[in-house]
Amino acid sequence: MMTTITFENNCTSVQEYRQLRVWQRAMELGRKVSILFSEYPAGENLLVKNIIATAIQIPACIAGGYSRGAQSDLIRSLNHAKGDLAMLDTYCMLSHQLNVIDLDTRRLIEVLVIETTRLIDQSLDKWQSPL
């Protein structure tokens, strides 16, 4: 079933969550993080498992919020995804400090987190603003 949400503050309607730029960016983050950590042996480190799990949870959270069909659910899921981005950043910081990941990997993920957070903030500003 396809959900269409028309936001109260504009005339734009999105036919499905895959059209959301913020979801597309979150998917890119999840894909890149998964690729970066695909060379780590399974079960090697709890932090690595948490990094991967958190990165793939972010686009899923956005998709779920959109698919519930209410603007308030999408806004709530975007805020949740923003919290997950902070968790991802924290896991990566700790992983670098414990020499689990190198500085280049840490910096790459940090840039992706910043870019995705910025897009979430822009989306929240747009969708929460009054008419």
State the pTM of this model. Answer: 0.85
| Helices (H), ranges, 16-102 | 21-36, 46-67, 71-97
Among candidates 97, 118, 117, 119, which has minimal Cα distance to 106?
A: 97
pLDDT reported for residue 18:
93
Average pLDDT over residues 38-46: 73
What pLDDT digit, counting tens, does each position of 95-112 carry? 999 988 899 999 999 999
Question: In the predicted model, is pLDDT for residue 129 greater than 80?
Answer: no
Question: In the predicted model, is pLDDT for residue 87 greater than 60?
Answer: yes
Contacts of 83 (CB under 8 A, 6+ apart): none
The neighbouring-strand residues paired with 14 are: 5
